[in-house]
Chain A
Amino acid sequence: MDISLLNVIKLLLALLAIIVLLVLNSVVMVWLERKAAGFVQRRPGPYVVGPHGLLQTVADSVKLLAKQIVLPGSSDRLLFLSAPVLAMFPMFLIFLVIPYGPWLTGLEVNLGLLLILAFTGLETLAVIAGGWASNNKYSLIGAARCVSQSVAYEIPLILALLALAFMCGSLDLTVITEAQSGWVWRWNIFRQPLAFFIFVITCFGETNRAPFDLPEGESELTGGYHTEYSGMGFALFFMAEYTSMMLVSFLAAVLFFGGSNGPFINGFWWTFLKMGLFMTFMIWVRWTFPRVRFDQLLNINWKWLLPLGLLNLWVTAVVLKLF
């Protein structure tokens, strides 16, 4: 990639668009989540601010912005304040490399998948920093859980995605999307069902969503790593959660559901539609299942997903070599 003025402008524009997308996503998702929860629980959900409570999130954002940020006693100021920022900012870079449509990509790199996996690891770092700096025992336990959870989940995730990369012969997301073009059964979900199964489970672990929301686990740890955060600190962690949800949903759309390839006219709308559906699925799961226990969560990973991922990789490799 050559560094020309045009490219720089394009990059800046893409970043700007991504920031808008992430903020919009959080606003819409908070509303959608509350509405979906309301639907599942047979109640209307937010209903007062705006039509069907549409402006509720806006009101909440204003509230969070205006709130005082309280620093707990003897906390590490620098770490405490930088943790939420650290949770949010790597996300912007990740979204640069996602191919939303045939021509709609912020930055085309041939190692896109690797970049995404590398940067998602940073969120764990933010949670550790926040949990440690809070000088709160609940936060500390939450942070410790987050570390063991991400270590446990990232390995099966990488194994599952590696099988895809084997099959498509590239780590470039655009190439992976193109490999799925044509008919619906060319989507990776049909060609790699086991990898998809592993991917879905690890998604919930990666995003700290129920039933794997142990770093937060409010019935045990009140708020987990963000117990001590208020105002914008909390809001940023919250946004990071929805952003990582969107990220895995985009990944699911691009890697397994053919990205911008649809049954009919191809285009970025398919990516967004699939992303939205996957996110709704995640919301549905959250409001349906109870939380697993911590040792069970680790057992699922180390005893089931890891061997399954290895098996999947091995079978893929053998099949590719033979045919």
Chain B
Amino acid sequence: MKAQEIFDTWRKMGALLLCRHDFRKSGLSFSAFFAPDMVSEAARGLFEAGWFLEDLSAMPVKEGLLVTYHYAAARQPGRLAVRALAERGRLTSIAGVYQGAEWHEREAADFFGLEFIGNPNPVPLLLPHDFPDPPPLLKAEKDLAAMRDLGLFGQAREILDPAWAARLGALEKGEGAA
């Protein structure tokens, strides 16, 4: 299935925010924000459409812990990003859909203290099992940036969830003025 078609199904699936990107500028075609319990459903849709999971890239932002799943397909151009803000550091695991995600999730758990509910083997992967807290890639409060300052929302956006209007608020206004 083409990237555009998947993008359209996301709208029906209950994505919170849909973003279009310029592939040449960011390496992404489309991205969408989902609720944390929806990522596995999004993963299933992508799996059935013939896409594979490239990696799982988590990062701390002002709004919480943002987890980005990058997807690519062997027979389609483009790259899709499924994003979710982990609530209290918890997300559902997609290892049931993409078995390869098990390791990516364990890595993210090591680095950010994330908890993936349903991961079949939730033990540390890259860091020692007795690594002291806090997780090494978490940032201090003062170093955190807001998502809109990191340019994660791409060129064109569709806000499907009113809560996200506020998160994008300043950005939209700025663009509206321009």
Direct contact of A and B (CB under 8 A): no
